[in-house]
Amino acid sequence: MESHESKIKKSYGSLRPSEKKVADFVLLKGYAISSMSLAELAADAGVSEPTVMRFVKSLGLSGFKEFKLGLMKDWGKEDVEGKSGSNLLVEFHISEKDRIEDIPSKIIGLTIKALEDTLKIISIDDYNKIIAMICESNIIDVYGVGNSGSVASDLTVKLVRIGLNCRNFSDNHVQQICAGHLTPSDLAIAISHSGSTIDTVNTLKIARESGAKTVAITNFKGNYISQYADITIYTGDVETVFYSETMASRISQLAIVDMLYMGILLSDFGLYTNRLDKINLLVKEKNY
C-alpha cells in the first residue's frame, strides 16, 4: 500500500498554497503528527482546521483518524529505528566546530536518504511512458544548467551511445533555438532540481509550444516547470541549510538517468545491446 509520504509528494503540485503549508509541516514532523489533534496540527501549521481536512481529503482519505493511523504505520517503524542508534547522520548542518572525520558518514547518510526518498515517489507508470517516449522520438533534446547541466550531459552520452538521436548544448541560447525547431515527433527533457530555473523552464516551454513531447525531471515541489511537461518524474527533496541539498539532488537525478537508460535497454534488449557491443568494441580498439 502506498505510504502517506508518497501520496503527499505526488499530489504536492496540485495542492492549494494553504494545503502546501500542511504538507510541509507533516513532512517535516513525520511520526510526531500522530500524537496531535486536528486543532493542534492546524495551529502549528498556521492554517485553519477546514484546510487540514481538505488536505486529508486530497490524499483520498476518509478523515483525520485514518490520516493519523496511516502516519503511525508509515513513520512509526522509521522513528523507532532512528532512535536505535543508526550511525548515518542524515542532516548536514555543519559549523567550524564540526570534525572532519564525521563528514563521510554525513555525506553517505544524506545520499541514502535522498535516494530512498526518490524511490518512494517514483511513478512506475510514468517511468514506463517516458521510456517509450524516448525510444519513439526522432530527436531528443536534453536541457539543464549548472549542476543539472552535468546530469543532462550524462543522459545525452548514454542515449547517444545506444544509437539514439540525442543532443545537448550548454549554451541556453542554442538550447532555445533547437527547442524552437522541434516537431511533434521529437522529445524535450528538462532537468532542474528547483523546478524554477528560468533558462531551463523557458526552454521547455518553447519546446512544448513547438509541438514536441516534453518531460521534466525535478523535485516533488518543482511544480513550476511541471506545467510545461507532459510527464514529470520526481526526485525527493532533502531539506538542509547547506550546499548539500544540491549535492544530494544531483545523486537522485543521476539515479533517474540510470533508471531510464537501463529501462530503454530492457525495452528492446537485442537491438540496444547489439548497438552497445558495437560501440564498446570501437572504444576498446582505441585503448592500448
Position 199 scores a pLDDT of 95
Q: 253 and 129 in one domain?
A: yes
Whether residue 268 sits in one domain with residue 204: yes
Same domain flag for 7 and 139: no
- Give pLDDT tens digits for 50-76: 999 999 999 888 899 888 888 887 766
Give the number of domains in the chain.
2
Tell whether 64 and 150 lie within a shared domain: no
Q: How far is CA 202 from CA 138, 174, 255, in A?
A: 22, 13, 25
One domain for residues 79 and 170: no
Least confident of 171-175, 188-192, 247-251: 247-251
Domain end: 83, 113, 138, which one? 83
Can you list the pairs that 46-54 forms with residues at least 24 positions away whose Cβ atoms lie under 8 Å?
Answer: 46/21, 47/18, 47/19, 47/21, 47/22, 48/18, 51/16, 51/18, 51/19, 51/21, 51/22, 52/22, 54/16, 54/19
State how far the Cα of 73 lies from the Cα of 68, in Å rounded to an integer.
9
pTM exceeding the 0.75 threshold for the entire prediction? yes
Q: Which of 29, 62, 83 is the last residue of a domain?
A: 83
The strands making up 187-191's β-sheet, listed across from edge to edge, are 166-167, 140-143, 187-191, 213-219, 231-235
Structural domain including 205 reads 121-284
